[in-house]
Amino acid sequence: MGCIKVGQCCHGLTVQLGMGNDVKVLTSLINMYSMMGDLETASLVFDRMPTRTLVSWNAIISGCVRNDLVPKSLEYFHELVCNGIGFDSATLVSLLHGCSRVADMASGKILHAYILRRCLESSNILSTALLDLYGKCGELTKANYLFSTMKDKNVITWTALLVGLAQNGKAEDALKLFHQMQEENVAANSVTLVGLVYCCAHLGSMKKGKSVHANLVRLGYALDIVNMTALIDMYAKCGKISLSERVFNIVSDSGDVVLFNAMITSYGIHGFGIQAINIYDRMVYQRVSPNQTTFVALLAACSHSGLVEEGIYLFEKMKTEHKMKPSEKHYACFVDLLSRAGRLEDAEECIKKMPSEPGTAVLEALLNGCRYHKNMDIGLRTADKLLHLDSTNPGIYVLLSNIYAQIKRWDVVDYIQSIMRAHRLKKIPGYSSIEIQNQVHTFFAGDDSHLNWEEIHRFLEALRSEIEASGYVPDTSSVLRDVDEKMKVKLLWGHSERSAIAFGLLSTAPGSVIRITKNLRVCNDCHMVTKLISQIVQREIIVRDANRFHHFRNGKCSCCDYW
């Protein structure tokens, strides 16, 4: 019930009634205090216990994990081992969950070694906890191996692997695992289905997402706040913001801040900054206290919508009215807001006034603004700081190459690319995906391996002729290669979203909406070409890139060329 005052009264009674040294009573008190977030008192009770049982140790260890004090829980475990006190599966399960929560792979491997030494690997509960750990730490090969060697798999085991795959960008593999799960008649639970919702969001798969939503309704999980939040996110990332609104309005009276944050974020990625601010105003009206995430979402929404003054106002309001100290994420969003608007000097000044040294996210936001507004001076200063912070991030080198390519300094571009090769850094390959008849088709830049490639290529060439007839002039500034203009144009027409759009137009009914998901930012030329295609074919084309959504209709984009 979370009644801390009543619990404290009960604690007083235990002392008054002479139970101050009773191990069972004191262990219950540790549980009570830790469950209500008062780990300081829980630790005090534990430290003053005259005698302790393994249950007492497990109570304080699980209490630390529950309150996100994983290093402290590991310290207690070290003390437990050094004192020669035995431990059991419950101890290890708590610790493994803690390591999963903070992605502490090193400590997790030590715990795995203890499991092997104690011959506990046959325990289904421990194996599932290990599977969850490896999955959440991105060690998918080990997670898959553990899964394949387990004899008695239950829904929790299947879900642990599925969620691990989903969180590591292996959405298609997670969906295949779910089909396998269904074939083996393992009934999904709420956590399984939420994992699938996030997979559908990652892929932009509307049909699969609706199918999972139907399963949530059928199994009675649909009105759960966590599930509703996932559905809001999924529909938004599938380009159907109206469905996100419908889901939000069903449960908006719950007063849950996570739910409001999901709706603000959804509006933000679609460039609907005013609507995002309206949700914040609704929060205030309903007396729902905003948190740090609320303002990250609001600042990002203002940045995508070009609402500079509104963003500055909210940033100040967060500090003064809500008494929140801006985090690295807030500064990154705020610098992005200023940089996109061309206020690069203000952004640089803001970074200088930060209470701590800026991280890569803040500096990358400024560098991206320098690339867009072709500011070499600030760009080079920022790039130098970034490379000192993280010399292994290929994105930094790519941004720097873009800046030099814009002023045609190909010697420097070549030098930067030689550094990348020396460090074995590779630019993330661009790809776009589209869902046709419940199947996701993925296209890579310059790839002609699709079964329908010849038909797609002919259709693209026909479109290209119409586009060029309308007066289109290629923008080759994003091509980071010192080749002639003809080759640059050819490389642009090999960009993945053009193939995906052409395939979508060939494979869907006239008048229907085309939905594309792209893993990188849409380049200027592809943005221009997609606007022209939407006008020529009279179809709405929705493109989700790495930053936001673009709704193309009648030769115009919802971003108003501000992205």
CATH of the domain at 331: 1.25.40
Q: Does residue 68 lie in a domain region?
A: no
Residue at which a domain ends, from 427, 444, 470: 427
Among 427, 462, 497, residue at a domain's last position: 427
Model confidence at 343: pLDDT above 90: yes
Same domain, 417 and 452: no
Residue 432 φ/ψ, nearest 5 degrees: -130, 145
User: Phi and psi for 434 in degrees, rounded to 5?
Assistant: -145, 140
Average the pLDDT over 319-332 and give the result: 93
Look at residue 214 and tell me if it is in a domain.
no
Same domain, 398 and 465: no
Rounded Cα distance, 472 and 498, in Å: 15
Question: Which residues does residue 544 pair with via DSSP β-bridges, in sequence order?
Answer: 517, 549
Average pLDDT rounded to a whole number, residues 279-295 = 94
The answer to whether residue 388 scores a pLDDT higher than 80 is yes
**Does residue 66 sit within a domain?**
no
Segments forming the whole domain that contains residue 553: 432-557
pLDDT band at 480 (very low <50, low <70, confident <90, very high): low
Place of tokens 């003053």: 48
Q: Looking at the structure, do residues 543 and 514 belong to the same domain, yes or no?
A: yes
210 part of a folded domain: no
**Residue 436 shares a structural domain with residue 405:** no
Answer yes or no: do 360 and 477 share one domain: no
pLDDT in tens, 352-363: 999 989 998 999
pLDDT in tens, 164-191: 888 887 888 888 898 898 888 888 888 8
Whether residue 544 lies inside any domain: the answer is yes
506 in a structural domain: yes
Q: 436 and 418, same structural domain? A: no
Are residues 389 and 495 located together in one domain of the fold? no
On whether the CB atoms of residues 394 and 428 are closer than 8 A, the answer is: yes
Whether 370 and 392 share a structural domain = yes
Question: Token digits for 440?
Answer: 């996701």
Number of domains the chain is built from: 2
Q: Which of 170-174, 213-217, 359-363, 476-480 has the lowest mean pLDDT?
A: 476-480
The span from the CA of 467 to the CA of 536, in Å, is 8
Kindly state whether residues 419 and 436 are assigned to the same domain.
Answer: no
| One-letter amino acid for residue 226 of the chain | V
User: Considering just the CA atoms, what is the radius of gyration of the chain in Å?
Assistant: 27
Looking at residue 198, its amino acid is Y
Does 508 fall in a domain?
Answer: yes
Q: Are residues 453 and 536 in the same domain?
A: yes
| pLDDT cut 90: percent of the chain above it | 43
- Which of 140-144, 254-258, 376-380, 399-403 is predicted least confidently? 399-403
Q: Which helix (H) or strand (E) holds 301?
A: helix 292-305
Q: For position 497, what pLDDT does the model report?
A: 94
Whole-number pLDDT of residue 413: 82
pLDDT of 407 > 80? The answer is: no
Residue type, 247: V
Structure tokens at 379: 């760009």
Task: Determine how β-strand 541-544 pairs with β-strand 514-518.
Answer: parallel
Entry pTM = 0.78
> Do residues 264 and 294 lie in contact, with contact meaning Cβ atoms separated by under 8 Å?
yes
- For CA atoms 305, 308, 312, 317, give the dihedral sign: negative
**Same structural domain for residues 391 and 456?**
no
The DSSP bridge pattern shows strands 514-518 and 431-436 to be antiparallel
Q: In sequence order, what are the residues at sequence separation of 6 or more whose Cβ sits closer than 8 angstroms to the Cβ of residue 364?
A: 332, 386, 395, 396, 399
| Averaged pLDDT, 416-430 | 83
At which of 372, 395, 427 does a domain end?
Answer: 427
pLDDT of res. 365? 93
**Any idea which residue has 């709706």 for tokens?**
263
393 shares its domain with 354: yes
What is d(CA 478, CA 475) in angstroms, rounded to the nearest whole number?
8
553 found inside a domain: yes
CA distance 357 to 416: 26
| Cα four-point dihedral sign 333, 163, 135, 165 | negative
Please tell me the total number of residues recorded for the chain in this structure: 563
